Structure formats: C-alpha cells, structure tokens
Structure 1
C-alpha cells in the first residue's frame, strides 16, 4: 500500500518525487541531542555542547560504529539507490552550499557531488571517526577536498550561519535526535529563503496495528542496539508542522521489512 500526503508544492518538485517506493530501511545513525539555540551561529559546534547532550564514547567504539556503518549499510543503500537517483537531481541543479545532517560515511555524495560543479558541502556528524570514511566517499564521487568540510556537531545546533545553505539533506536521521522539532527549526534557520530540505525517515506504524505494538515493545532495545534510534516517532507529522512554505510528504508502507516499515520521504522548501 502506498499513500501520499500532499501540501503546496512546485511542479518541478512533484515531478522529481514520482518514484518507486523505498524497499528497505536500516537505522544505525546517531544524531544528536538537544542544545541551546544561543550557540547555533558558531561555525562549529563547541565540544562542551556535544558532550553535554551526548555522553562521550570511547574512541574504539566510535571507530567500530563508523566501520559498521560503512560496511553494513551497503545493502540498504543498494536497495534505495533508484529512489535517491530520482530525488537528488533538483539539488544538483540548484544547490552550491549544502549541509548534510548526519553525513555518516557519505553514501549520498554520489548522487549530487560533481567535479565540474562549484559545490561546498558541510558534513555534520557527532562521530568524529566518520570523517575518514566520508572523505573517501566524497573523493570517489568527484567532490574536491576543498569542497568538503567535516564538522563534529549535533542536529539541534547546526554549525552554519542563518540563511547560508541552499540545501540541507537528512536521510535516516530524525529517528535518533533528542529533539526533532528543534532539529527542524535548525534546518529552517540555516536554509536560505527558498532553500530545500531533502529527507527520508522511517516512522511509527499506525496506532492499533500489531506492528505498532511490536515497535513499542522493542523500542528501548532498538535505542540501545542502534545507538539511539527510535521506532515509534511520528516524524512525518513533525515535518508537516515545522512551517515549511512548500512541502511534499509521501508515505509508503513496506511489506518486506518486519520491524521498521513505514517511511516518509520528500522535499520541503523554506
């Protein structure tokens, strides 16, 4: 079953989102926890803010998690590659300053990084060990070293100035932040007027279903094993309430995923 919830949206955006439903979802990202908005205009997120909202992890754990992300997400990325290939072209055409929230190991670069494009990307992730993997992916996609900056940071205090980004990308991120609404406010803050927010998120199954009951029961274990991922968030509702001027929000129910099934995906404009 495939459902679509439509808001005011430009024709070009609607065209780009005519795509096949997602096939699978995996959640292994950690994207971080609430921070004071008084710090959000800094070019990087202060270390004390990160530590205040997320307990410091040992270096061995950070490396283990980054390596696992690099290897274990490959099958997931292969299954949604067709969808991303249709979703990202609008970003390629119109965006020179891009911020990736939860950049991880950089699986999205190949969809929009081009050697012949004057592109500047800020990759934000709380795990500093992701940087070497992200830089390798950026180079493989044709993004010059000078065009990519990795900043250890959090979703609730994005390390970018007001109205400075043409686009913000977030794929499988809001399941793990502490404060979804604050993270969305940050997305809107850093976007230029008319800038776009491109997203893919898994969400809670409908109330009263067996899947929702299972998600509720297993949510604490999921958070523990998947570094903060929540199974029961209503992220689509939160995005729709965030106050974007133009939004297309699609929902798809996946029959081949036992626990993480519904997804929302789309593009929103500031």
Structure 2
C-alpha cells in the first residue's frame, strides 16, 4: 500500500527560543502532555567547578585526552571502559561482522529515494539549529544522512553514536562532505539507553528512524532529555504503527521478520506517544506519510524542547 505526503508548510518550525510555543496546525500536535492518535497518524563538554554533571559512572566509557568530548577525571576509572562495553553488549548483543558490514552498506546506499523525498522536511527542522546549537549529539547516526543539513554550520561540533561500529566510516565521510572539520566530529559505539555523556552537556539531540530499533524507547528518551541543556532541542523523525488500515495488518504480519532482517526495527510502535509522555516542556509533533517509505508509514516528525 502506497501512501503519499504533501510538503510541509514553511511556517511549521519557527523557533526564536526554547520556550516559544510553536503554532499548531491541522496535521500537527503542539503539546507537553497530550495524547495523539496512534497513527495517521560537543568546543568541549565542560566539567563545571571541576566536577562532572552526571554521576552515571557505569554508563561512561573512559576517553582519551584527544577526545572531542573528554570525560571529567572523576568519571574515568580503570574498569569504566569494560563496564560500558558490558552494558552495550547486554542491550545490543554483538552481531557477526558480515551482518554489520552488510547492514551499514544497505543504509548508506539503499535509502537515497527516501532521503530525497524527506529532504524538504529535514531542511525545515534542521534550520532550527543555525546560530543556536554548537554541540550536537546524533543518536543512531548510521551513515550520517542528516549531517549535510546542520554539520556545516560555523562552530558546530558533532558527537555521533551508533551501536554498529561499521557505520563509522560512512558517518565520517558524510561529516567531511558536509564541511565538518575532522577534529569537530567524534563517533562512538554506543546505545541510546546509555548515552556516554554528562547531564545537560549538549545543545541539541538528533534522532531519525532510531527509536524503532532501540531495546527500550522510554529509557532512550529519558537519556535524550538528560543530556540536553535547558532550552535544548530534540529533533526527531520516526515511523509509527498505522491504525485500523490494511497497512497496519501488513505491519503486524511483517513485524517479527522486520526485527530479524532490519537490526531490531519494530513496525508497530507508538513512538509519538512515547515522545509526548517523556516530559519535554513542549512538543511540536507532525504526522505524514511518504511514498518511498513503503510499510514504514506513517511517520511522526518535529521538535521537542527541553
């Protein structure tokens, strides 16, 4: 079943500061704690006062002195790296190298038509980062398809995390093509449920087509909120379950297979509800569908404010 979407209005995302209330429109939801339909819907991280903002020692991997996002000395320990790897492996058990290589290649080369269709939406959302965000974390950065929209901004520093280490070479190439200096980009193998960064340490978090594959959606969203500074932005695009349609029937049938072949991707999650219920100060959430997205429709997209 093919669903089509019309381009978004140029006035969907107009943000002057983090507390501004975005104007709702017929196809969007502007809320902090409001139900929505199921579907059709880093310079450096600072150690303030010489102590880390976050006490999540077991979730932090020791970093070297050359790291773009160094950890405070109090966060490092002789076994912190092994502890972090244990958490990573528990949340996402290691997969064979051939699978990781193959999946990274598929994402890097097989999403071009989708990226072309969603480009107008992403251009509007990522415009919110211009002049407002210097330290950006992208979870599930994959092959880096979003970097071209924001990484070229002057003074931008980007920290990309992904559980698939094979994504790094593609993400670095995308960062280079976007004009981001090598010293301003760092990739770390990590999961969204345990982001290896201190509290309130980034200006923005980016995540597109990520929450479908994490083990715990709510834990990942709490981590997103934790690492955001007050006034920070969370920019998201996620596919969600269709409701009461033939497409939903297809999603229910294919969901178990999708999880196996697409690195844990779920087709029937209600991710929009999860985002709204995380406790952001405001959420501008929109729903649409894409002709090149097949059964990963509809999709929610927007900006949440810390």
Band of TM-score, shorter chain: 0.7 to 0.9
Q: Which residue of 2 aligns with 1:234?
A: 270
1:92 to partner: Cα distance? 2.1
Q: Which residue of 1 aligns with 2:190?
A: 153
TM-score (norm 2): 0.74
Give CA-to-partner distance per residue, 1:218-266, whole Å, 9 cap, x none: 1101111211110100000110100000111111245675422211100
Q: Which residue of 1 aligns with 2:202?
A: 165
Q: Aligned Cα RMSD in Å?
A: 2.8
Q: Which residue of 2 aligns with 1:39?
A: 58
- Is the CA contact 2:231–2:305 (under 8 Å) kept in the aligned structure 1? yes
Give CA-to-partner distance per residue, 1:150-174, whole Å, 9 cap, x none: 0000010012110001000000000
Q: Which residue of 2 aligns with 1:264?
A: 300
Distance 1:254 1:137, change over 3 A: closer
Distance 1:255 1:85, change over 3 A: closer
SS at match of 2:205: strand
- Corresponding position: 1:51 with 2:51: no
1:61 to partner: Cα distance? 1.9
Give CA-to-partner distance per residue, 1:48-82, whole Å, 9 cap, x none: 21112222112222112111111101221111111
Q: How far apart in 2 are the matches of 1:104 and 1:68?
A: 10
Q: Which runs of 5+ in 1 are unaligned?
A: 22-36
Q: How far apart in 1 are the matches of 2:116 and 2:245?
A: 29
Q: How far apart in 2 are the matches of 1:197 and 1:173?
A: 13
- Is the CA contact 1:99–1:169 (under 8 Å) kept in the aligned structure 2? yes
- Is the CA contact 1:98–1:121 (under 8 Å) kept in the aligned structure 2? yes
Q: How far apart in 2 are the matches of 1:16 and 1:86?
A: 15
- Is the CA contact 2:144–2:170 (under 8 Å) kept in the aligned structure 1? yes
SS at match of 2:130: helix
Q: Which residue of 1 aligns with 2:280?
A: 244
Question: After alignment, is 215-224 or 163-172 more displaced?
Answer: 215-224
SS at match of 1:251: strand
Distance 1:109 1:14, change over 3 A: farther
Give CA-to-partner distance per residue, 1:69-126, whole Å, 9 cap, x none: 1110122111111111111011122100000000011111110112x61111110001
SS at match of 1:249: strand
Q: How far apart in 2 are the matches of 1:124 and 1:193?
A: 22
Q: Which runs of 5+ in 2 are unaligned?
A: 29-55, 64-80
Q: How many residues align?
A: 248
Q: How far apart in 1 are the matches of 2:201 and 2:293?
A: 38
1:181 is aligned, of 218, 222, 247, to 218
- Corresponding position: 1:195 with 2:214: no
